Amino acid sequence: MNRIEDPDTLEAALTLIHSRQHISPKRLGEPGPDERQLAIILNAGGAAPDHRRLTPWRLVIVPAERRSLLAEAFAAALAERDPGAAEWQLQEARDKAYRGPFLALAIARLGVALGKTHPQERLIAAGCALQNMLLAAHAMGFGAGLSSGTSLYSPRLRQLFRLGDDEQPLCFLSVGTVTRGSTSKPRATMADYTSSL
Ligand SMILES: Cc1cc2nc3c(=O)[nH]c(=O)nc-3n(C[C@H](O)[C@H](O)[C@H](O)COP(=O)(O)O)c2cc1C
């Protein structure tokens, strides 16, 4: 289907885009997507515009039984940048690794190795892939969000996720069931970002 003929269906598609909201991992509970639902969400990423079809992004899923590794990396990253961090702060850092039923790190290949496609284009492709995944999750009734934070850029995280020299961590993608709603924020409209030459 290349065009939505039915006005109601078109309205529904646009409503879907506009009603997507960032849902913080703190507000995501069980159930998360099952295997089939997850495949739909992740495969939506492959439909992103991707100049020269390089797939310059990848996701590393952090399953429940490996969350403790991420928790320790978050705590170690905090201790590295703030050697005086209190135990409760380290624990708070660890806790972040356990939020959300589905958690994955999104990574982009931004180094020179991929050749002619400018890193900026590759970053856009990765961002579009993430947006497709967010929209697919939202369409299926899940809440989803992207999260970053200073620890993302620590050597500990690079080590844990075995990032190559040409790779950069972008953000975490979390998906689950919304446990607490949020108030919608005013959004930019075309007047905020459009002008004519
Ligand atoms: C790469 C990236 C990283 C983000 N990291 C965070 C984060 O660490 N914490 C957070 O609250 N929101 C994070 N967000 C979500 C934005 O805050 C959110 O998209 C923005 O407030 C607009 O809200 P909306 O998505 O509901 O329209 C991130 C978004 C992007 C694109």
Residues 6+ apart with CB under 8 A from 62: 69, 70, 97, 103, 104, 105
Residues with beta carbon inside 6 Å of ligand 1? Answer: 21-22, 24, 146-149, 170-171
> In this structure, what token pair is assigned to residue 127?
């961002």
50-54 contacts, C-beta under 8 A, 24 or more apart: 50/125, 50/128, 50/129, 51/117, 51/121, 51/122, 51/125, 52/116, 52/117, 54/109, 54/114, 54/117, 54/122, 54/125
pLDDT, one tens digit per residue, over 29-65 is 999 999 999 999 999 999 999 999 999 999 999 999 9
Maximum average pLDDT range among 2-11, 104-113, 156-165: 156-165
Contact (CB, 8 A) for 48 and 108: no
Residue nearest to atom 9 of ligand 1 (CA): 147
- Residue type at position 40: I
pLDDT, one tens digit per residue, over 88-137 is 999 999 999 999 999 999 999 998 766 789 999 999 999 999 999 999 99
pLDDT at 153 over 90: yes
At 180, give phi and psi (nearest 5°).
-140, 125
Q: Is 28 exposed, middle or buried (0-12, 13-18, 19+ CB in 10 A)?
A: buried
pLDDT, one tens digit per residue, over 12-37 is 999 999 999 999 999 999 999 999 99
pLDDT at 140 over 80: yes
Please state whether 115 falls in left (phi above 0), alpha (psi between -120 and 50) or beta.
left
Ligand 1 centre distance from Cα of residue 145 (Å): 7
- Residue type at position 154: S
Which of ligand 1's atoms lies nearest the C-alpha of 24?
Answer: 11
- State which CATH number among 3.40.109.10, 3.30.470.10, 3.20.20.70, 1.20.200.10 fits the domain covering 23-180: 3.40.109.10
Residue nearest to atom 4 of ligand 1 (CA): 147
Ligand 1 centre distance from Cα of residue 107 (Å): 16
Q: Which one of 147, 168, 170 would you pick to mutate in the ligand 1 pocket, going by the greatest count of ligand atoms within 8 A of its CB?
A: 147
CA distances from 185 to 7, 22, 87, 158, 172 (A): 27, 10, 35, 33, 22
Residue nearest to atom 30 of ligand 1 (CA): 146
Give the start-to-end residue ranges of the domains of the chain: 23-180
Q: Which one of 18, 19, 20, 22 would you pick to mutate in the ligand 1 pocket, going by the greatest count of ligand atoms within 8 A of its CB?
A: 22
